[in-house]
DNA sequence: TTTTTAATAGACCGATCAGTTTAGGAGGTC
DNA sequence: GACCTCCTAAACTGATCGGTCTATTAAAAA
């Protein structure tokens, strides 16, 4: 019998993409097994708490990635460099608009109520970290916060529109515009 | 036997709210009957094509409403008045950020693939109508289009963030900012 | 009053749902 | 080789899924 052995981090990454594409409710266990090639037994072995545990761990994993790759740099001692890098990280992570934000998608239906703290925490920290970097880079508190909020809103909106219209260039244009907006404000 | 009689438009409106709150996949027929008080028999009487027909008719209904209340005025002879009214209409329709955009939510998972033309059509027309109004109000074609796209992206992003953070004021702030942005560009 | 029409109720159907369970496979340790 | 551990496979379970269908109700039409 030929079989592939997965480790849990592999499982997390694979299942994450299924949730991202199908949403929480649309991602039945059958669809998850079919798309990941992990069996039901394996999935429950790694995630004894079931589907909800999968989603929670995936979100924690995504959050941790953002903390390392984006939030902590923004909270660090080189705000301008971190802000510049944020755009690259954002473009890369969302595959230039071809990949939706799983946490944002979970926010839109009642899935939000299962994971409200995680969802809120992720977006709150993103805005706070960016606002903090803008503040350190020289903007007033009010201006920093408004721009941070505008940037994260623009990113989420661009992901939705890019997907709705089947046009990835929308995401690229929006990132460039938002980046320019922040740079102009910092000059 | 006491029973309530609904007409189809009532059914459309009620079912729409279930889809809006639960998404397409999360809105099982049982949940729809429980939340609308329409029986399964009634639902299939009005929508013999089943769940997919419901969603399609709901989307068509929403689109028709936007055409009447927003897109056609934007396409009409008083662009500035129509743009000003668009903000009020948007705030009102989305209940100041308390109500998600059903069509936007459907765009984020594979529900999009069932209704791609309707989803694309709705956002495309919104952007085109707004860009046309901005053009007629005096902006260059390039500027008009970029601002229209920015506005619709900002609205969708603000809806997502307001819901994710459980903070409706985000939506109000974003509308005010976008409105100001367009007015500044028109001066 | 009787008939027709539109809407409602809810039992029923086969398929699928999330989760449970048992058996087995493969590598590592002793 | 025997035992242990981790992972995999897939049958099974009761509940729920979307859809079908029959009977009923109430209002409108004849």
CB A164 within 8 A of CB B123: yes
In CATH, what number is assigned to the domain containing residue A65?
1.10.357.10
Say if residues B58 and B12 touch (Cβ distance below 8 Å).
yes
Domain-located, residue A46: no
Whether any strand C atom is under 7 angstroms from the Cβ of B98: the reply reads no
Looking at residue B80, its pLDDT comes to 97
- Show the DSSP H helices in B27-168 as ranges: 29-36, 40-46, 51-66, 72-75, 79-93, 102-107, 111-114, 116-136, 141-165
pLDDT at residue number B2:
67
- A170 found inside a domain: yes
Long-range Cβ contacts of B37-43 (<8 Å, 24+ apart):
B37/B4, B38/B6, B38/B11, B38/B14, B42/B6, B42/B11, B43/B11, B43/B15
- Contacts of residue A176 in chain B, CB cutoff 8 Å? none
Q: What confidence score (pLDDT) does residue B1 get?
A: 56
Supply the range of the domain harboring residue B73: 59-186
pLDDT at B155: 98
In a domain, A12, yes or no: no
pLDDT in the model for residue A115: 96
Closest by CA to B80, choosing from B20, B149, B134, is B134
Contacts of residue A154 in chain B, CB cutoff 8 Å? Answer: 150, 153-154, 157
Question: What length is written for chain B?
Answer: 187
| pLDDT attached to residue A1 | 53
Does residue B121 sit within a domain? yes
Q: Counting one residue from A and one from B, how many pairs have CB atoms under 8 Å apart?
A: 138
Extract the residue ranges of chain A whose pLDDT is less than 70: 1-2
Q: Is residue B49 part of a domain?
A: no
Domain membership of residue B23 (yes or no) is: no
| DSSP string for A20-59 | HHHHHHH--HHHHHHHH---HHHHHHH-TT-HHHHHHHHH
Per-residue model confidence as pLDDT tens digits over B110-119: 999 999 999 9
Q: Does the structure show a pLDDT above 90 at B3?
A: no
In a domain, B2, yes or no: no
The reply to whether B39 has its C-beta less than 7 Å from any atom of strand D is no
Distance CA B46, CA B39 (A): 11
Identify the three-state secondary structure at position A75.
helix
What pLDDT sits at residue A2?
64
Distance B10 CA to C5 C1' (A): 20
**Tens of pLDDT, residues B59-110:** 999 999 999 999 999 999 999 999 999 999 999 999 998 999 999 999 999 9
Nearest-5° Cα angle at A18, A45 to B97: 120
B27 CB below 7 A from strand D atoms = yes
Domain count, chain A: 1
Asked whether residue A85 is assigned to any structural domain, the reply reads yes
> A101 to each of A96, A106, A132, A163, how far by Cα in Å?
12, 9, 23, 11
């Amino acid at each position: 019998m030929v079989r592939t052995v997965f480790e849990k981090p592999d499982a997390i990454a694979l299942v994450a993409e299924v949730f991202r594409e199908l949403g929480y409710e649309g991602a039945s266990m059958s669809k998850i097994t079919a798309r990941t090639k992990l069996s039901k037994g394996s999935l429950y072995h790694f995630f004894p708490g079931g589907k909800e545990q999968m989603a929670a761990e995936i979100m924690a994993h995504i959050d941790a990635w953002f903390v390392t790759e984006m939030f902590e740099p923004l909270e660090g001692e080189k705000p301008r460099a971190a802000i510049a890098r944020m755009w690259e990280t954002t473009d890369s992570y969302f595959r230039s608009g071809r990949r939706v934000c799983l946490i944002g998608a979970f926010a839109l239906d009642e899935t939000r109520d299962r994971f409200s703290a995680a969802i809120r925490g992720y977006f709150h920290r993103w805005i706070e970290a960016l606002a903090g970097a803008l503040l350190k880079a020289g903007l007033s508190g009010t201006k920093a916060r408004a721009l941070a909020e505008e940037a994260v809103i623009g990113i989420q909106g661009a992901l939705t529109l890019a997907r709705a219209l089947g046009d990835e260039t929308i995401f690229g244009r929006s990132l460039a515009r938002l980046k320019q907006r922040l740079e102009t404000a910092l000059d």
